[in-house]
Structure 1
Amino acid sequence: MKKACLLLFSSMLLSPLTVQAEENSQTALKNLLAQMTHYSASFQQTVSDEAGDIVHEATGTLTMTRPDKLRWETAYPDETLLIADGDAVWNIDTFVEQVTIIDQTQAIADNPVILLTSNDPAVWNDFTVSKASDDIYTVTPKNGEGQIQSLTMRFNDDILASLEMLDAQSQTSNLVFSSINVSDEPDSSLFTVTIPDTYMIDDQR
C-alpha cells in the first residue's frame, strides 16, 4: 500500500513536468517551422515494413509554401505528381492518365504533415510534440486514427533535413532531402493544375 501511494504521488508530480516539456517542445518546433515560409528540395525515399525490410524506394522533388500549398513529384520508379493547392489535393498519375481530387481539409485531417505548411495555430491542438534533441522532434496525432501515426522531423542548422513517417500499417517511410532551397519563393504555377482532355477525372470532393 505504501509503495502504491508513493508511485501515485510520483506520477502526480511528474505529470505537470511532462506537460511543460511537451509545451516547450511544441513551441520550439513552431519556431523552427515558422521560419520555413518556402521550402524546396530533392528527396530520396525509403519505405520499410515492420520487420525492417525495404519494400519501396523513390526519388523526386518536394516543394512547399505557406499557407497550405505542397507539390510532391516523383521521378523514379514512376512519374507521379501530387499537388495540394490550398483547397484540394490533386493526385495525378501520368502513366494511366488519371486524376483523383480530394478535399484538402479531409485529406490532411489528423496528418502531422499539415504543420509544415499551415499558418493556423489551432491545428497544433490536435498533436503532441516530443523532442529528442534540439534537432529532432516527433509529432503524434492525439486521436491516433489517421493514416500517419507519427512524424519525426530532423533539422540541420535549423533547416529541415529529413522526415520519418510511421503509418497505420507499421511501415516506415524515410525521406532524406538534398539541394534544399529555403530562400526563393516557388513559382505559383507549381501549385496549379491543368488536366489534359484525355485524362480520366475522379472528383471525390
Structure 2
Amino acid sequence: MKTMIKRTVILGIASICAFATLADERASQALQSKLAGMQQFSADFTQEVTDPQGEQIHQASGKLVMARPDKLRWETAQPDDTLLVADGHAVWNVDTFVEQVTIVDQADAINDNPIILLTTNNPRKWQQFSIAQPSADTFTITPVNGQGQIQQLELVFDNNVLSALSMQDAQEQTSALSFTNVKTDFTPALTLFEVTIGDHYTIDDQR
C-alpha cells in the first residue's frame, strides 16, 4: 500500500513538472512570436525605482533604442545625462557628469539578465530562463539558476507592441518603465550603437 502511494505521488509530481515545462515552452513561443515583430524598437521612457517597501527611491526619463541582434542604446535626460550603449561586443557606460567611460564585455554584463531576450534569437540564451504567461499580453521571465542581479523581468504588451516592463533585482528593488512614442518600423542608424568620446574623458576598460 505504501509503495503504491509513493508511486502515485511520484507520478503526480512528474505530471506537474511535465505540465509546467509545456506551459513554459508555450509561453516562450508566444513571447518569441511577439518579439519577432520588434526587430527594432524605439521609445521614450519614464522610470520609477522603488524599494522593497514600495517607497520611491529614484525617477528618470529618457530614450531607448534596441535592434536585433544584441544592440541597445539607453539615454537618460533626467535627472542626469547618461548614456549606455551595447554594440554587440561591449557595453559602454558614459557618465558625462564625471566625464568617465566604463567598458565591459557584453557577454559578462548580460549574463543571466533576462533583458537579453529582447535583443537575441540565440536558443541557448532562451534556455537560461523560465517564462510564464499569466495573461495574453503579460510575460514573466526568471533566470533558471537564479544567480543574476535581475531576479525577474515582467513584459507588458499592447497590440503586440511592448508598452511597459518591470525588473526586480537581488535587493528586491523594482524598476518599472513605461514607454511612449513607440516605433518598430524603421531602420536604426548604426551610429546609434557607437560611442564617440572626448580625449579628456577617463576610460575604465574592464574587458
The residue aligned with 1:59 is 61
Counterpart-to-counterpart distance in 1, 2:25 and 2:121: 18
Classify the secondary structure of the residue corresponding to 1:16: helix
Q: Give the residue type in structure 1 aligned to 2:163.
A: A
Q: Give the residue type in structure 2 aligned to 1:188.
A: L
The residue aligned with 1:102 is 104
Return the offset for 1:183. 0.5
| TM-score, with structure 1 as normaliser | 0.96
Share of identical aligned residues, percent? 51
**Residue 81 of structure 1, aligned match among 72, 75, 83:** 83
Return the offset for 1:13. 2.4
Counterpart-to-counterpart distance in 2, 1:79 and 1:64: 19
Classify the secondary structure of the residue corresponding to 2:112: coil
Q: Give the residue type in structure 2 aligned to 1:42.
A: D
Return the offset for 1:8. 4.3
Counterpart-to-counterpart distance in 2, 1:14 and 1:147: 29
The residue aligned with 2:204 is 202
Task: Count residues with an aligned counterpart.
Answer: 205
| TM-score, with structure 2 as normaliser | 0.95
Counterpart-to-counterpart distance in 1, 2:106 and 2:29: 26
Return the offset for 1:18. 1.3
The residue aligned with 1:165 is 167
The residue aligned with 1:27 is 29
Counterpart-to-counterpart distance in 1, 2:102 and 2:94: 7
Classify the secondary structure of the residue corresponding to 1:55: strand
Q: Give the residue type in structure 1 aligned to 2:142.
A: T
Return the offset for 1:181. 0.4
Classify the secondary structure of the residue corresponding to 1:28: helix
Return the offset for 1:186. 1.4
Q: 1:8 to 1:121 in 2, by over 3 A?
A: closer
1:44 aligns with 2:46: yes
Deviation string for 1:27-72 (max 9, x for gaps)?
1111111221010000000000000000000000000001111000
Q: How does 1:112-151 map to 2 (within 5 A)?
A: 112-151=114-153
Classify the secondary structure of the residue corresponding to 1:78: coil
1:152 aligns with 2:154: yes
Classify the secondary structure of the residue corresponding to 1:154: strand
The residue aligned with 1:15 is 17
Instruction: Give RMSD over aligned pairs.
Output: 1.5
**Structure 1, unaligned stretches of length 5 or more?**
none
Q: Give the residue type in structure 2 aligned to 1:152.
A: E
Return the offset for 1:12. 2.7
Counterpart-to-counterpart distance in 1, 2:132 and 2:15: 19
Return the offset for 1:9. 4.1
**Structure 2, unaligned stretches of length 5 or more?**
none
Counterpart-to-counterpart distance in 1, 2:77 and 2:139: 28
1:176 aligns with 2:184: no
The runs of at least 4 aligned residues of structure 1 exceeding 3 Å deviation read 4-9
Deviation string for 1:88-145 (max 9, x for gaps)?
0000000110000000011001101111111312211100000111100001001111
Q: Check the 8 A contact 1:47/1:54 in 2, yes or no.
A: yes
Q: Check the 8 A contact 1:65/1:185 in 2, yes or no.
A: no
1:90 aligns with 2:92: yes
Moved more, 52-61 or 184-193: 184-193
